């Protein structure tokens, strides 16, 4: 197994650290009900996760309408989804191995950051409620900067804040969006298999390593 020398580790949130799909699907279907649209199966909504709330809402509406949603419907839907999601966002739980993996990494004096396409108003409460907030020196959300994954701007920002070169940093994620962002930034990319990659398996040829869960991560690091 390859080993990597890095100073900073960046972690995706949804599908990597926390199992947020149940709460997202619940809020999305509550939104559809309020808009008098048919609800969608859990697996379908889960496959829409990974590119931010806007894309999720758009896909849910398109899936329910069997068509591209009208901009006026999108404008109406967004605050409805956010209102429902605010009610259950903090119920999401970490995946197995996350707490133990982060504990082991923290003891090695590595710089840790969380980088997500989720809006900050949901990111912060979620990290606090799940007990993961203390692990991260930096948290960059989907609306922190002018762009978000797969744009590498978030990763460049974190590396600059940590004062490390991109080749000394690693992104741990679960999706093609994470892979594209890390490759564009020039960071290592390691993926977990249990997340939300639009329902598709990760292309192993595109990543530096795959791990079953975060407890395997320390053994990859020199």
Check residue 84 and give its pLDDT: 98
Check residue 70 and give its pLDDT: 86
Residues 202 and 180: their CA atoms lie apart, in Å, by 12
pTM for this predicted structure:
0.94
Residue 92: Cβ within 10 Å count: 20
Average pLDDT across the chain, whole number? 95
Residues annotated as part of the active site:
12
- CA-CA distances (angstroms) from residue 3 to 7, 209, 222? 13, 9, 6
Check residue 156 and give its pLDDT: 98
Handedness of CA 21, 123, 133, 136 (dihedral sign): positive
pLDDT digits (tens, 9 = 90+) for 23-52: 999 999 999 999 999 999 999 999 999 888
* Nearest partner of 102 among 126, 144, 129, 137, judged by Cα: 137
Check residue 87 and give its pLDDT: 96
Residues of the chain with confidence (pLDDT) below 50: none
Check residue 1 and give its pLDDT: 65
Domains of the chain (ranges; CATH) run 8-19+92-220 (3.40.50.1000), 21-91 (1.10.150.240)
* Nearest partner of 150 among 197, 193, 89, judged by Cα: 197
């Amino acid at each position: 197994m390859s080993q990597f020398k890095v100073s900073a580790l960046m972690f995706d949130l949804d599908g990597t650290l926390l199992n947020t799909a149940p709460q997202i699907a619940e809020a999305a279907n509550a939104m559809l009900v309020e808009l008098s649209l048919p609800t969608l199966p859990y697996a379908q909504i889960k496959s829409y996760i990974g590119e931010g709330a806007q894309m999720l809402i758009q896909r849910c509406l398109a899936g329910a309408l069997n068509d591209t949603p009208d901009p006026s419907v999108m404008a109406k839907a967004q605050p409805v989804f956010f209102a429902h999601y605010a009610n259950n966002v903090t119920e999401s739980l970490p995946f197995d191995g996350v707490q133990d993996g982060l504990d082991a990494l923290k003891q090695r004096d590595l710089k840790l950051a969380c980088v997500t396409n989720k809006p900050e108003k949901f990111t912060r409460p979620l990290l606090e409620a799940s007990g993961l907030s203390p692990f991260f020196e930096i948290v960059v959300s989907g609306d922190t900067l002018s762009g978000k994954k797969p744009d590498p701007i978030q990763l460049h920002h974190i590396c600059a804040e940590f004062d490390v070169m991109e080749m000394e940093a690693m992104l741990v994620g679960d999706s093609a969006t994470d892979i594209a962002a890390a490759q564009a930034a020039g960071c290592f990319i390691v993926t977990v298999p249990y997340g939300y990659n639009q329902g598709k398996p990760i292309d192993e040829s595109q990543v530096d390593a795959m791990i079953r869960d975060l407890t395997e991560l320390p053994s990859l690091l020199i």
